[in-house]
Amino acid sequence: EVQLVQSGTEVKKPGESLKISCKGSGYTFTNYWIAWVRQMPGRGLEYLGIIYPLDSDTRYGPSFEGQVTISADTSNSTAYLQWSSLRASDTAMYYCARKYSDSYSEAFDIWGHGTMVTVSS
Amino acid sequence: SSEVTQDPAVSVALGQTVKITCQGDSLRMYYASWYQQKPGQAPVLVIYGKNNRPSGIPDRFSGSNSGNTASLTITGAQAEDEADYYCSSRDISGNHHYAFGSGTTVTVL
């Protein structure tokens, strides 16, 4: 079964650092881009950025460049999203998603279950 | 960057047909993909490309495209189709940037 398994719920204080993970299984991890998507409480989906694990080519959404860091470790088929200094406004559910593409189309076909991050003093 | 926009909410009677639209300049160049999200759950891909359904998605879901508008149609809506639906498209820059619409809440009456 193709799946993305994300790390568990996090509760942090403002200013703390954090790294959450997304482990792929059931497919060749290096062959697909992995995206990160934010969903703030009661709000819609926002694209943070994407990484190609084979060569770590990483692109960030315009609003998130410099705010987060996306990385991947091919030795354990895992993508990461990290913050160096959390803010209360980072409180959200974070999803990873695999990007499928062919000659005509592309889509985020497999999603992780999400990691809830709460930042509160 | 570019945006894709959606109407915030729509309702449909049980068994009837509803069409959700998504508009944006990027849709003239790239197909939209559509995601269903139920409360407390991760999004699920329902339509992608010209009109493709992933395995397990009922054939009452279909997609279409015209100019700068992509549409998702549910023909014979069921109670379990009540959810938020998001469209997504590659950014018009084509540089692996993507945008999601703000979502449409579908209520089945």
Span A83-117, pLDDT tens digits: 999 999 999 999 999 999 988 889 999 999 999 99
Q: Which of residues 1-60 of B touch A (CB under 8 A)?
A: 1, 30-31, 33, 35, 37, 42-45, 48-50, 52, 54
Span A49-62, pLDDT tens digits: 999 999 999 999 98
Taking an 8 Å cut-off on Cβ atoms, the answer to whether B45 and A108 are in contact is yes
Distance CA A22, CA A90 (A): 18
Sheet strands (E) in A26-91 = 33-39, 45-52, 57-60, 69-73, 78-83
Are A53 and A72 within 8 A, CB to CB?
A: yes
Q: Which of the residues A3, A4, A108 would you substitute to probe the B interface, choosing the one with the greatest number of B C-beta atoms within 10 Å? A: A108
B81-87: average pLDDT = 98
Q: Percentage of chain B surpassing pLDDT 90?
A: 90
